[in-house]
Amino acid sequence: MSKLIRGILPALCTPFDGHLALAIDHVSPLVRALIDARTNGFFVCGGTGEGRQM
């Protein structure tokens, strides 16, 4: 069984604070903004380049 995925699926960026620590309290507003922008889903565990900061 396969299904073609269509639409806009942005990769989620990992938010950091000014000390380069994970800003977990910024994840929910980020996801809410993408939902409000009517994206079709999320590309979770994708790479947006912040892996080197972790």
Query: How confident is the model over 24-46, as pLDDT tens digits?
Result: 999 999 999 999 999 999 887 76
The pLDDT, as a whole number, for residue 43 is: 85
- Helix runs in the chain, H state only: 27-36
The pLDDT, as a whole number, for residue 31 is: 93
Burial of residue 33 (CB within 10 Å: 0-12, 13-18, 19+) is exposed
Q: CA 32, CA 47: separation in Å to the nearest integer?
A: 20
The pLDDT, as a whole number, for residue 47 is: 67
- Is 80 exceeded by the pLDDT of residue 5? yes
What are the distances in angstroms from CA 28 to CA 1, 8, 44? 32, 19, 14
* pTM higher than 0.85: no
